[in-house]
Amino acid sequence: MIRFIVSNRYRVISHISSWINHSTRVNRIYQKFISEIVMLSYFRCVMEEVVHIRDIQKAYTTVKALKGVTFSVPRGSVFGVLGPNGSGKTTLLGILLDVLKADQGSYEWVGYSEPHQARQQIGSLLETPNFYSYMSAADNLRISAKIKGRGEEQIDEVLKLVNLFERRDSRFSSFSLGMKQRLAIAAALLGKPDILVLDEPTNGLDPVGISEIRDLIRQLNHSGTTIIMASHLLDEVEKVCTHVAILRKGELLTTGSVLDVLNDEDRIELDAADRKALMSALSRNSSLKNLREDGVVQCSAVDGYTMNQINQYCFEQGIVLTHLVKKKRSLESKFMEITQS
C-alpha cells in the first residue's frame, strides 16, 4: 500500500483534492478523507528521504566489510559517507548500486518500485571511471545515455560542464587520470539526475579541478540535487557536506547532520602577559570549561557565553588579553576522536 502511495503520489494528491471539492458529501467521505490524510502524511515523511538502508551486512570470506549498517539519506542533502580505508564506504555504495550483493539487510530507493529504475535516474561514479578505451568520450557517453534512457542531445552539454567538449572525439585511452574522472562525472550528470552517488569524486584531479568539482557539487545541491558522497578527504567533506555517516571497520559509528555530529562547542584560544593569572581567573568562571594550556590557553564556553563576555570578564579580573580567537572544531578532529575511541 505504501509503495503504491509513493509511486502514485500525484494520483493520491489529486484524489484528495477532488474529494475536497465535493464538499456536499463531506459527512459521507469524512472517514476516508482522514485516512487519506494519514497516508499522505506518511508519504510526505517517507519522501523526505531518498534512500533507506536497513541492517546491511556484507562479508568477504572471513572479513566482515559491513556489520549491520542502518541509516537514511535526507532529500536535498549532501551526504558524506566517511571512514578510513577499508571501513566499507565503497562496499556500501556498491550494494546500493547493485554491483555487490548484500549478505543480509535491504535498501530502498524511495519512489522507485524497481532498483534498476532508480539507478537509471541516479548519476553515479563508483571507484574508477569505467569506459571503453578504444572509443571516444562522446561515444562512451552515448552508451551511458542509451542505458539511462536519456537523449543524446545532453552529451555536449555535460562535456562542456566538465571542460571536455574540445576532446569529445578523442579516445578515452588518450585521457589523463583527471580527464577520465571528469568524463565519469559527465556521465553521472547525464539527464540532470535528482540524486548523485559519488565515490571519491576528486580522485586524480589537480587543485583547480578539485575546486571546480567542489563548486559543481555545491551548485547541483543548491538546485535541489541530493548528493551521496564517499570520501576519505575530510576537508573536502567538511566543505560541502550537510550530513555525514561515519564508518569504521564496517560499523556505523555515527550519522546525522554535520552540525549535530560536530555539536561540540567551539574552541577558544586566549593568552595574556601573565598566563598564570589568566589560568587562575578562567578557572573561577563557571561558564568556561575544558581549560588547558597548550602553547596558548584553550577552553570552551557554555552556550550563549560570548567572546565579548569573556573579554569583559578578564578585564574585570585585571587581565588584558593579548590573544582571543574562537576556533571552529574541525571535522578531522571529531573524526579522529570518533574513529579512534
Partner 1 sequence: MQWMIIEWYKLRKYTAFWLLVGLFAGLFLLWNFGLSRSFINMGSGPAKLISSSYSFPSVWGNMGFVYSWFIIFLSVFVIMSVTNEFSFRTHRQHVIDGLRRIDFLHGKLMMVFLLSLSATVFYTLSALVFGMLNGGGNPLDEINKVAYVFIYTLNYLTLSALLGFFIRRSALSIILLFAYMMFENSFGMFINWRFETQIGNLLPLQSSDELLPWPMLQSMKSMVPGKVVKSISPVVYFGFSVMYIGLYYFLMRRKMLKTDL
Sites of contact with partner 1 (CB under 8 A): 94, 97-101, 116-117, 119-122, 124, 126, 128, 130-136, 139, 142-144, 146-149, 187
> Distance between alpha carbon 340 and the CA centroid of its chain, in Å?
22
Give the nearest distance from C-beta 206 to partner 1 in angstroms.
24
Q: What is the dihedral of CA 304, 308, 312, 314, to 10 degrees?
A: 80
Q: Rounded to a whole number, what is the distance in angstroms from the first to the last CA of the chain?
A: 43
Nearer to partner 1, 48 or 114 (CB): 114
Give the nearest distance from C-beta 92 to partner 1 in angstroms.
13
Give the nearest distance from C-beta 34 to partner 1 in angstroms.
39
Give the nearest distance from C-beta 61 to partner 1 in angstroms.
12
Nearer to partner 1, 183 or 252 (CB): 183
Number of H helices, E strands in the chain: 14, 13
Give the nearest distance from C-beta 131 to partner 1 in angstroms.
7
Which amino acid is it at 208? V
Give the nearest distance from C-beta 100 to partner 1 in angstroms.
5
Give the nearest distance from C-beta 171 to partner 1 in angstroms.
9
Nearer to partner 1, 15 or 146 (CB): 146
Contact 126, 197 (CB under 8 A): yes
Nearer to partner 1, 120 or 309 (CB): 120
Nearer to partner 1, 120 or 257 (CB): 120
Measured at the CA of 93, the angle between CA 113 and CA 187, to 5 degrees, comes to 80
DSSP 179-232: HHHHHHHHHHHTT--SEEEEESTTTT--HHHHHHHHHHHHHHHHTT-EEEEEES
Nearer to partner 1, 98 or 266 (CB): 98
How long, in residues, is the chain? 341
- Spatial CB neighbours of 223, under 8 Å, sequence gap ≥ 6: none
Nearer to partner 1, 128 or 317 (CB): 128
> How far is Cα 338 from Cα 292, in angstroms, rounded to an integer?
21
Q: Dump strand ranges (E) for the chain.
A: 49-60, 63-74, 78-82, 104-109, 122-125, 195-199, 226-231, 243-248, 251-257, 267-272, 288-294, 296-301, 321-327
